[in-house]
Structure 1
């Protein structure tokens, strides 16, 4: 029908139930269509991966729009087979070359951190008032970035193995932007044009390893604190940017064993998604498929005085980005 709203869809990577191999699929309405060179014509060797879709989005987009539209109509006997999404094993949706993470990028989170560390001294009320007053000034400065490792990524449903060397593993649910085309020294006004879509990441952190007690002048040690296997549960899906009206109007919610620990709008970010991408691109080219984590809202374990334990279940949601369900278990010593 002319003028009808396009059918919204997301993209996932899943295990093919027949071959056991990773496959890329179009997901809409609880159905998944495996993408092949028979239903998606892209340049290259015919291998339909998430990376190929991102790099050739100009050609993939109209074809995917049509496939999503066909999902709502009666299919002929020779039409492509759609699968039930609930019966599939999802994988991390993409394999980025670079993972860039923004730290302390939510106002309430920064205030809570300052109170926890008694920054500058004073009562809790005095600290909160002082840090709140500095937020606008900080937004005129530069975001704090650090590098994550793609090898720490896991799917949205894999068990999180809690390393035995610490009992201070913490959660931090975050919105992540997926870069769609090379961005180098772009302005904030141009930045969102370089976003392919959005996904969800839980940035697990071992709190006691964040600061090097043996080298206090060096500062934070994000390599050891954040890059253990499985410390970046990602997905379950990538939602194309055209289906996200405003990335600064999404709700980030994490529940631990059914109890809400984090619940905040992305409107609380100090630096917007566009500003983060612009700032990051001033130092390094951002490449198609790269992940830009945008920081986590208040309500992590450090705030509650409660770290992750064996048997915990984390349920994470961000508006439109599906649900993560991660079970925690202690590492078994060899």
Structure 2
């Protein structure tokens, strides 16, 4: 569909139940309220009560939504119960994904910055310029011959685009990772990258919050990274505000990601800097697991995380995350108050039995 985009989201009015909403120029109408209009147009909407339900039959629901929007904009829809978005509570647009996959170390500049900062025995004695040149060569080689690094995240970490992020008191290094999120619109298994984007329903803004000091377990270093503790606290994945249909994102590798912390730009990068693009990630993940409609793929974060600045999230901070054409999420940070003892961040400080 050409012309102005429309969006989907999940909303709540007062204390009512969540509902799927169609968003047009800041106004929201329940998708379920479009069923009579679609029937007059000779089309049907399936499971219109939730965005996840719509995604279950996206190949039929999207054309119906597209035609309904055309009728609304042409003044042919009659009276519809639109509500100003500001009067509603905005929930995560996909409420909630069944599976969440995250790509790590997937932006060239980000990884090269880590190589320059952290070095390694093989780079001992090298200048910063030499380390950077070595890192850039390695990233070019990885893009040609390597494979994505993917891990999973829990749906219970998801919050809405304007919800408060409650910082666990045991976490001192909560970090931001603004990312392009990909929402699947069809089941996918062993998909070739040339066809992978045909399986995408749309795109969302996500922020993969990470507790840096919990990534590595000093008590069992041979076990690698602890994604459960470092990535999955409640609130560690703000999502939204909207699901933007893929038809309005002609090239997911040509979007600008921007994160501001208290008004200061911390991340500003193009998705063109991805080592493995959206299609390659879908190909890789679907080679190993069954992807389902509504599943979320977080595609990695560009340079400019708190680790780079030596500055982590704290009580009173405000994050604002935007991606071209996908909207802006605003996440205030507050310190969670937990009565009694909390799990210590430094596992090595406890006796290991």
TM-score normalised by structure 2 residue count: 0.89
Among 7, 16, 22, which residue is 1:10 paired with? 7
Superposition RMSD in Å: 1.6
* Counterparts in 2 of 1:233 and 1:149: CA distance versus 1, 3 Å: same
Structure 1, gaps ≥5 residues long: none
Deviation string, structure 1 residues 119-145 (Cα, Å, up to 9, x no partner): 333332221110001112101211001
Equivalent position SS for 1:151: helix
Taking the aligned partners of 1:260 and 1:288, their CA distance within structure 2 comes to 34
Question: Equivalent residue for 1:157?
Answer: 162
Structure 2, gaps ≥5 residues long: 39-43, 340-353
Q: Does 1:254 align with 2:251?
A: no
Q: How many residues align?
A: 327
Question: Equivalent residue for 1:26?
Answer: 22
1:75, CA displacement in angstroms? Answer: 6.9
Among 123, 129, 150, which residue is 2:127 paired with? 123
Taking the aligned partners of 1:124 and 1:213, their CA distance within structure 2 comes to 28
Moved more, 281-290 or 80-89: 80-89
- 1:28-107 superposed matches below 5 A: 28-36=24-32, 37-39=35-37, 41-43=44-46, 48-74=49-75, 79-94=79-94, 95-107=96-108
Equivalent position SS for 1:196: strand
1:88, CA displacement in angstroms? Answer: 1.8
Question: Would the aligned equivalents of 1:156 and 1:236 in 2 still touch at CA under 8 Å?
Answer: yes
Equivalent position SS for 1:71: helix
Taking the aligned partners of 2:299 and 2:188, their CA distance within structure 1 comes to 17
- 1:152-231 superposed matches below 5 A: 152-231=157-236
Q: Does 1:282 align with 2:326?
A: no
Question: Would the aligned equivalents of 1:6 and 1:65 in 2 still touch at CA under 8 Å?
Answer: no
Question: Would the aligned equivalents of 2:55 and 2:201 in 1 still touch at CA under 8 Å?
Answer: yes
1:116, CA displacement in angstroms? Answer: 2.4
TM-score normalised by structure 1 residue count: 0.94
Question: Would the aligned equivalents of 2:175 and 2:211 in 1 still touch at CA under 8 Å?
Answer: yes
Larger helix fraction of residues:
2
Question: Equivalent residue for 1:292?
Answer: 297
Taking the aligned partners of 2:264 and 2:283, their CA distance within structure 1 comes to 36
Question: Equivalent residue for 2:348?
Answer: none
